[in-house]
Amino acid sequence: MIAGTFTIAKRELASYLRMPAGWIIIMLFLLLTGAVFALSALVPGRPATMRPFFEACGWLLLPLAPAVSMRLIAEEARTGSLETLLTSPLSTIALTLGKLLGACLFLIVMVLPTLALPAILWTVSDPAPDLGPILAGYLCLLLLGLLYLSIGLAASGATNNATLAFIATLFIILALLLAGTLGRQLPSPWQDLLFALALPPRLNDFAKGVIDTRHVVYFVSVSGLCWSVATSLIAWKRWRDR
């Protein structure tokens, strides 16, 4: 299973890097986050912080992660290559895990060059920036990416239409971002549920440099849930009308 997962992940990552769209996403991300960093962190007299950079990354992931994930399964189903994959000696679990891993690797490739930014900040600022919020920021970015891509994987498994998968992913992410605001309008049990699901308080903690295990468990477990939904949807497709 592990070999199959890595084979799928490797092909997935290579396919992003073989297509102009993959490079455009990377360029856009680096250009915009770089600009935010230059305008916020490299201003004389201001404290050396990367908080605006991580906030910008969070907002940029909102459209970019669904753009990366929308094709994961929907495109395979549309072109028929899902038939090739599912008739190979490869388990459905290995397939979805490989797809998610491939998309996450692409995200890492996209974020990796930004490691130069804290290095720059380290060199030019006096006093040196606090390392805790920077490490927490990168961990948060990876967990947020994992969550968004997992949601995208599930949405992509539910339809053969990549555009529909993009819209559904965006909608679910916005619902998680606005869950707290919506929860305030609702009575107790619903309010508690929506507060528990809400993303912003967790992001705020990471921004302060606090790595709370509960938040890490939240990101990993919701991502795991979405991955298992995607896996079940593919298994269900075998029974459904073709």
- The correct pick among 2, 32, 88, 211 for binding another protein (CB under 8 A) is 88
The nearest distance, CB 22 to another protein, in angstroms, is 10
**Orientation of helix 2-18 relative to helix 20-40, angle to 10°:** 80
- The correct pick among 62, 86, 139, 229 for binding another protein (CB under 8 A) is 86
3 scored as a contact of another protein (CB under 8 A): yes
160 scored as a contact of another protein (CB under 8 A): no
113 and 197 Cβ atoms separated by less than 8 Å: no
> Which DSSP string corresponds to 141-191?
HHHHHHHHHHHHHHHHHH-S-HHHHHHHHHHHHHHHHHHHHHHTTS-HHHH
Site for another protein in 221-240 (CB under 8 A): 238-239
- The correct pick among 31, 59, 79, 113 for binding another protein (CB under 8 A) is 79
- The correct pick among 9, 26, 85, 155 for binding another protein (CB under 8 A) is 85
Each residue 36-75 as x (binds another protein by CB under 8 A) or -, in order, gives: ----------------------------------------
The nearest distance, CB 103 to another protein, in angstroms, is 16
81 scored as a contact of another protein (CB under 8 A): yes
105 scored as a contact of another protein (CB under 8 A): no
Q: Is 62 exposed, middle or buried (0-12, 13-18, 19+ CB in 10 A)?
A: middle
Dist. CA 36–CA 28, nearest whole Å: 12
Measured over the CA atoms of residue 109, residue 203, residue 59 and residue 131, the dihedral's sign is negative
169 and 71 Cβ atoms separated by less than 8 Å: no
Q: Which residue has the tokens 């079940």?
A: 232
4 scored as a contact of another protein (CB under 8 A): yes
- The correct pick among 2, 44, 45, 80 for binding another protein (CB under 8 A) is 80
The nearest distance, CB 19 to another protein, in angstroms, is 6
Which bin fits 88, alpha (ψ -120 to 50), beta or left (φ > 0)?
Answer: beta
What one-character DSSP code corresponds to residue 91? -
90 scored as a contact of another protein (CB under 8 A): yes
11 scored as a contact of another protein (CB under 8 A): yes
18 scored as a contact of another protein (CB under 8 A): yes
Chain centroid to CA 227: how far? 13
Q: Which residues bind another protein (CB under 8 A)?
A: 3-4, 7-8, 11, 14-15, 18-19, 79-91, 238-239, 241-242
